[in-house]
């Protein structure tokens, strides 16, 4: 290895695992093989580690083989710990994925007395090893016998040299299995110890041809060595070096033995014949390793590189996995796309470094423009062939690659200009072989190889945390649990973007501020992300924002303004439908007009018209496509909705660095887009709009009353408390204004009532509804639908409140008036009939309720569609009537359908979806399926608690249902706990005698009675026994 380093002019140690395809060993030779392969050590590192283990192994306090096994295990555990590997790390697994060389350990099974091959790779003919690295090393290194594995997989291994003293023949046979019979050996290196007998080499060893296979064998056995030499002498590729010194027989000789071994080895290598053999061996290795890297100029490696398992596996699978099994020849292409600073180039560099021995020619191309690609391709081919004096153009370069095999081209940082699209395929050699790796910011280039396109997003949290701590803490420092917690919070805030993680680590290391980094970041975000990283030894010295600034000059002003506008929304799941709906009405539509306002002078509307205009689907695709080319924005899907996404760091940069008009104008523009989508017809969009409403929460107080009402409409199903706060603020602004619209004011009162309804303040809801009805009666003509609608809401309130006579009176009157003045088929008449049916069902008039609800359901399904929220509400109410009538199978079928459709339309955590699941659980309960009911009810209560503020009646209703189920299952303590919590809340909202008021009280009464009976019955029994005994005594005396 030293000679190879000298000849290559290497500035860092050359690793054996990068030169040999297969390294094998037995006993302590197996340990050395593992150090070189599994732990990727240089020769010097392996010698130092091996010497340390040997000194402990033959230490002064180690007296027998049993104690040596204990010491060996302890030293191997320390080795794994030093390398940050878990003790149960498998021999075949994630660690082997990053190793180009294969490891074969030979061990001896005590039961069968046969050689067992332990591999760090999978083969076609054998099952993969299930042992851990620790167990595999114990099995091959044990001086006597050792138990490894666990359970049924436990085996006993003995000293491997008893059977496989020289594993050379095993190694050649293994190579034949791995690489095929047509492969040939480029170099077979045997380093020996003391001889033992072993079977002769297989006769077919000479059939290794074509493929370059290098085998490093750490073993002993002169007999086998001589046999191998005899059979392979004519190939000139077999080399055996043997400087033999057995380990010391006595512990006190350990240090002397190591010194003698070093001296003897130096003397042995100075022998002329041996030195010539070393030169020949190095020559063979250099012939094999003579990968022509075309004057390869790779980017500097980052000292903070952390392996990313998912993209790494995708790269290997696309570029060479399963190559031997695939009979079809084809050009392997891998596209990695991602925003600047996501680590694309470093992954490509790592791939070249890790697997360069697989390729004969490697070209690294600057893909920033067509001119740079052409220039680099020509320069690479000239460098490979030393043809600088000849004239070579692009056509010659591509033809040369097409006529040669086993090459890799890396097109790095390919940028596809918006105005001048780059035809990257025109730079691919026209052939059915070779490998091509492309890194780009443009995900659309993935269409070149759709099945081998990896969109490199943020790191996994664990990977990002590891990278941050590696950059932030001193070398080899071990993070404390507290430091780990700080790091996890930081990488979450930074969106796990590699360049931001490394910059944060550099900042923290320079200022020693891990605990308070987040506080600094939130206070001075723009300053920190614009700060250059000083004193870095790699290319990660630019600021995070500097990486993104490269896109400023290539994007149009319209695209940059669009990106700046998007930065005022939450960075995930921006529904494109929201933007398009707002554009349809020129960004001026309002769900509620509490106060009149003109948009003719609105700067926000003017900005939207300027930036987006009357945009449609096609126009939005073109506009966002310009940002997508540089991975600043991407299209995605959330359920059935197409959404836009930004990385949080892109969002921060777009807001901090892209300054145009007053930021307040952009914020108001975002508010306009959101407010334009408030309204019953857009309810399916609310779950996607909700994060963007909450994103603007620090600015809610400055909103116009109309926008506050619109935001409240979106929030009510998820956050009633916030809804009420917004509506109350809007009410305060409107109630004394001379510009208020009275009808709009009445609508605002009804919306406030809707908010207080979910808080359980039914008395206030009644007051607000009555006030709204009076306003509408004064202004609107008699029998106006809006007046009917408000009265219908009041009747529904009485029903929920438990005031059934008032509910029936109100609803019958409204139904008859609507039918008379609006017609039986009018939507408001249908709505009145559906609400009347609920009251009739509650009063026990199930037949009438069923007829009304079935008619309403048929009408809404026909006119609104089965997925419309009103259709689903009617379907749910019909199921409730079926349940009242004892038709549980029919009720269950309908309720399951409602649950599935509401999940699809409204989302899993919309309050209506949770209520529908609660209703389904009630159906299970009524059928005696208590365990199924319990699981579903526990889920609904947890989700109520997650989205609703504490003390809300809907949560309490869910808890009361769950208390009933716990009682039926005999879980009395839980039943009592939940019933008491529910009773405390429901008593405040509902009237005595109503269903929800009485349910928790009924559970508590049954529990109380059961407790009393558990005491009373045993006491009565004792009294009866006592009376019976007394009676017997009296009878006996009388006799």
Greatest alpha-carbon span in the chain: 140
Tens digit of each residue's pLDDT (9 = 90 or more) over 238-258: 777 776 555 554 444 555 666
Average pLDDT over residues 648-665: 83
920 versus 947: which is more confidently predicted? 920
Report whether pLDDT(455) > 50.
yes
At how many degrees (to 10) do helices 133-141 and 28-37 cross? 150
Contact 329, 432 (CB under 8 A): yes
pLDDT value of residue 390 = 60
CATH of 2-288, one of 3.30.70, 3.40.1130, 3.40.1090, 1.10.3470: 3.40.1090
Please give the pLDDT value at position 97: 46
Give me the CATH code for the 309-455 domain, please. 3.40.50.300
pLDDT at 342 over 90: no
- Residue positions counted in the chain: 1039
Mean pLDDT, to the nearest integer, of 859-880? 89
In this model, does residue 485 exceed pLDDT 90? Answer: yes
Query: What does pLDDT average to over the chain?
Result: 81
154 DSSP assignment:
-
pLDDT at 993 over 90: no
β-pairing, 407-414 vs 361-366, is parallel
Question: Alpha-carbon distance 204 to 274, whole Å?
Answer: 28
Q: How far is CA 829 from CA 375, 816, 849, in A?
A: 76, 8, 15
Task: Write the pLDDT tens digit of every residue in 804-825.
Answer: 888 888 888 888 888 888 888 8
- How confident is residue 275, by pLDDT bands cut at 50, 70 and 90? confident
pLDDT of the residue at 457? 84
Whole-number Å distance between alpha carbons of 617 and 611: 15
Distance CA 398, CA 58 (A): 61
SS (H, E, C) 291-352: CECCCCCCCCCCCCCCCCHHHHHHHHHHHCCCCCCCCCCCCEEEEEECCCCCCHHHHHHHHH
Report which DSSP code applies to 640: T
pLDDT digit string, tens, across residues 872-902: 989 998 998 888 888 999 999 999 999 999 8
In the prediction, which pLDDT does 657 show? Answer: 81
H or E element in which residue 396 lies:
helix 394-402
| Percent of the chain predicted with pLDDT > 70 | 84
Higher pLDDT, 1025 or 262: 1025
Per-residue confidence (pLDDT) for residue 616, from 0 to 100: 87
Looking at the predicted structure, is the pLDDT value of residue 936 above 70?
Answer: yes
Confidence of residue 93 (pLDDT cuts 50, 70, 90): low
Q: What CA–CA distance (Å, rounded) separates 344 from 305?
A: 12
Q: Would you state the pLDDT for residue 545?
A: 83
Give yes or no for residue 472 having a pLDDT over 50: yes
- Provide φ and ψ at 482, rounded to 5°: -65, -45
pLDDT tens-digit series, residues 354-364: 787 778 888 88
Q: Given a cut of 80, is residue 96 above it in pLDDT?
A: no
Mean pLDDT across 263-289:
70
**What pLDDT band is residue 429 in, cutting at 50, 70 and 90?**
very high
The pLDDT score that the predictor gives to residue 1012 is 79
pLDDT for 846 beyond 60: yes
Task: Report d(CA 822, CA 788) in Å as an integer.
Answer: 10
pTM for the structure as a whole: 0.63
Question: What are the residues whose beta carbons fall under 8 Å from the beta carbon of 764, sequence distance 6 or more?
Answer: 753, 756
Average pLDDT (135-143) is 86
Do 871 and 857 contact (CB within 8 A), yes or no?
A: yes
Residue 718 above 90 pLDDT?
no
The pLDDT tens digits for 658-673 are 777 678 899 999 999 9
pLDDT at 437: 94
Most confident residue range from 141-145, 326-330, 396-400, 636-640: 396-400
In which band, very low, low, confident or very high, does the pLDDT at 301 lie, cut at 50, 70 and 90?
low
d(CA 224, CA 414): 54
pLDDT digits (tens, 9 = 90+) for 176-226: 777 766 666 777 887 865 443 333 334 443 333 333 333 443 334 556 656
Q: Comparing 5-19, 810-824, 1016-1030, which segment has the lowest mean pLDDT? A: 5-19
Q: Return the minimum-mean-pLDDT range out of 146-155, 225-234, 403-412, 876-885.
A: 225-234
565-604 exposure pattern, b = at least 16 Cβ within 10 A, e = fewer: bbbbbbbbbbbbbbbbbbbeeebbbbbbbbbebeeeebeb
pLDDT at 784 over 90: no
Least confident range of 195-199, 306-310, 351-355? 195-199
Q: 187-191, 455-459, 490-494, 761-765 — which one is most confidently predicted on average?
A: 490-494
**Helices and strands, number each (H, E), in the chain:** 42, 16
| 792: pLDDT strictly greater than 90 | no
State which of 327-331, 375-379, 703-707, 780-784 shows the largest mean pLDDT.
703-707
CATH class of 906-1011: mainly alpha
List Cα–Cα distances, 209 to 180, 183, 185, 206, in angstroms.
9, 4, 7, 8
User: pLDDT higher for 161 or 124?
Assistant: 161
Q: How confident is the model at residue 384 (pLDDT cuts 50, 70, 90)?
A: confident
Q: Which contiguous run of DSSP H or E holds residue 847?
A: helix 846-863
What's phi and psi for 894, nearest 5 deg? -65, -45
């Amino acid at each position: 290895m030293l000679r190879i380093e000298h000849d290559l002019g290497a500035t860092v140690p050359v690793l054996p695992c990068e030169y040999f395809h297969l390294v094998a060993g037995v006993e302590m030779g197996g340990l050395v093989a593992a150090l070189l392969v599994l732990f990727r050590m240089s020769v010097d590192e392996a010698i130092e580690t091996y010497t340390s283990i040997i000194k402990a192994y033959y230490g002064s306090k180690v007296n027998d083989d049993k104690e040596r096994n204990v010491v060996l295990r302890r030293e191997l555990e320390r080795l794994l710990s030093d390398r940050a590997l878990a003790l149960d790390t498998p021999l075949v697994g994630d660690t082997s994925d990053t190793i180009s060389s294969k490891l074969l350990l030979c061990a001896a099974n005590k039961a069968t007395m046969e050689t067992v091959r332990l591999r760090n790779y999978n083969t076609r003919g054998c099952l993969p090893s299930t042992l851990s690295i620790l167990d595999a090393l114990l099995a091959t290194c044990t001086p006597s016998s050792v138990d490894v594995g666990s359970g049924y997989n436990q085996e006993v291994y003995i000293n491997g040299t008893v059977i496989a003293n020289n594993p050379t023949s095993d190694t050649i046979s293994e190579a034949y299995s791995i690489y095929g019979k047509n492969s040939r050996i480029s170099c077979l290196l045997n380093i020996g110890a003391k001889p033992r007998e072993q079977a002769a080499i297989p006769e077919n060893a000479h059939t290794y041809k074509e493929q370059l296979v290098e085998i490093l064998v750490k073993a002993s056995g002169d007999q086998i060595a001589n046999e191998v030499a005899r059979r392979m002498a004519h190939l000139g590729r077999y080399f055996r070096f043997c400087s033999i010194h057995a380990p010391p027989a006595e512990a006190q000789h350990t240090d002397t033995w190591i010194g003698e071994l070093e001296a003897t080895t130096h003397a042995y290598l100075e022998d002329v014949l041996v030195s010539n053999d070393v030169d020949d061996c190095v020559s063979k290795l250099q012939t094999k390793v003579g990968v022509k890297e075309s004057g390869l100029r790779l980017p500097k490696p980052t000292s903070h590189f952390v392996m990313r398992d998912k993209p790494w596996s995708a790269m290997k699978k696309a570029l060479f996995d399963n190559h031997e099994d695939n009979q079809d020849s084809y050009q392997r292409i891998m596209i990695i796309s991602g925003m600047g600073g996501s680590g694309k180039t470093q992954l490509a560099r790592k791939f070249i470094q890790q697997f360069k021995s697989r390729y004969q020619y490697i070209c690294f191309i600057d893909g920033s423009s067509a001119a740079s690609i052409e220039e680099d391709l020509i320069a690479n081919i000239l460098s490979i062939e030393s043809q600088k004096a000849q004239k070579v153009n692009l056509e010659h370069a591509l033809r040369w690659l097409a006529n040669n095999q086993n090459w890799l081209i890396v097109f790095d940082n390919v940028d596809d200009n918006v105005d001048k699209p780059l035809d990257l395929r025109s730079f691919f050699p026209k052939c059915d072989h070779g490998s091509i790796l492309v890194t780009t910011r443009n995900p659309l280039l993935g269409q070149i190889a759709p099945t081998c396109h990896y969109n490199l997003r943020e790191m996994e949290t664990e990977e990002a945390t590891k990278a941050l701590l590696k950059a932030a803490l001193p070398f080899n420092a071990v993070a404390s649990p507290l430091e780990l917690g700080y790091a996890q919070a930081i990488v979450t805030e930074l969106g796990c973007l590699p360049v931001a993680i490394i910059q944060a680590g550099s900042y923290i290391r320079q200022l020693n501020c891990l605990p308070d980094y987040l506080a600094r970041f939130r206070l001075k975000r723009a300053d920190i992300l614009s700060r250059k990283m000083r004193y870095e030894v790699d290319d990660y010295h630019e600021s995070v924002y500097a990486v993104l600034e490269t896109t400023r000059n290539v994007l149009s002003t319209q695209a940059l303004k669009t990106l700046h506008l998007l930065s005022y929304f939450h960075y995930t799941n921006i529904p494109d439908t929201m933007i398009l709906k707002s554009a349809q009405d020129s960004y001026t539509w309002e769900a509620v007009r509490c106060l009149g306002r003109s948009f003719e002078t609105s700067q926000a509307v003017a900005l939207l018209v300027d930036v987006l205009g009357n945009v449609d689907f096609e126009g939005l695709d073109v506009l966002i496509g310009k940002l997508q080319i540089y991975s600043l924005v991407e299209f995605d899907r959330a359920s059935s909705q197409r959404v836009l996404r930004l990385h949080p760091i892109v969002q921060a940069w777009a807001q901090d660095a892209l300054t145009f008009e007053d930021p307040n104008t952009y914020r108001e523009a975002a508010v306009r887009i959101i407010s334009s989508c408030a309204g019953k017809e857009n309810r399916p969009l609310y779950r996607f709009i909700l994060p963007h409403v909450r994103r603007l929460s620090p600015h809610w107080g400055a909103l116009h009353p109309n926008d506050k009402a619109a935001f409240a409409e979106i929030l009510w199903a998820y956050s009633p408390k916030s809804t009420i706060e917004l509506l109350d603020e809007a009410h305060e602004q409107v109630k004394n204004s001379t510009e208020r619209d009275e009808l709009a004011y009445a609508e605002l009162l009804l919306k406030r009532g809707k908010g207080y309804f979910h808080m359980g303040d039914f008395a206030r809801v009644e007051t607000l509804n009555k006030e709204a009805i009076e306003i509408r009666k004064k202004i609107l003509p008699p029998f106006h639908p809006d007046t009917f609608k408000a009265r219908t809401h009041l009747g529904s309130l009485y029903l929920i409140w438990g005031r059934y006579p008032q509910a029936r009176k109100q609803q019958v009157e409204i139904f008859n008036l609507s039918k008379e003045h609006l017609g039986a088929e009018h939507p408001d008449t249908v709505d009145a009939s559906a609400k009347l049916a609920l009251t009739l069902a509650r009063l026990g008039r199930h037949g009438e309720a069923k007829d009304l609800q079935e008619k309403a359901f048929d009408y809404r399904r026909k006119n609104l569609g089965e997925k419309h929220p009103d259709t689903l509400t009617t379907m749910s109410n019909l199921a409730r009537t079926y349940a009242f009538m004892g038709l549980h199978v029919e009720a269950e079928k309908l309720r399951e359908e409602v649950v599935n459709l509401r999940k699809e339309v409204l989302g899993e955590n919309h309050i209506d979806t949770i209520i529908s699941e609660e209703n389904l659980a009630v159906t299970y309960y009524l059928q005696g399926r208590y365990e199924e009911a319990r699981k579903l009810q526990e889920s609904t209560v947890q989700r109520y608690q997650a989205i609703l503020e504490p003390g809300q009646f809907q949560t309490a209703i869910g808890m009361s249902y769950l208390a009933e189920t716990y009682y039926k299952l005999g879980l009395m303590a839980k039943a009592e706990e939940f019933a008491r919590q529910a009773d405390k809340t429901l008593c405040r909202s509902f009237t005595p005698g109503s269903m929800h008021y009485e349910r928790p009280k009924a559970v508590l009464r049954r529990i109380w009675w059961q407790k009393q009976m558990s005491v009373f019955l045993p006491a009565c029994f004792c009294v009866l026994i006592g009376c019976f005994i007394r009676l017997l005594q009296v009878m006996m005396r009388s006799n």
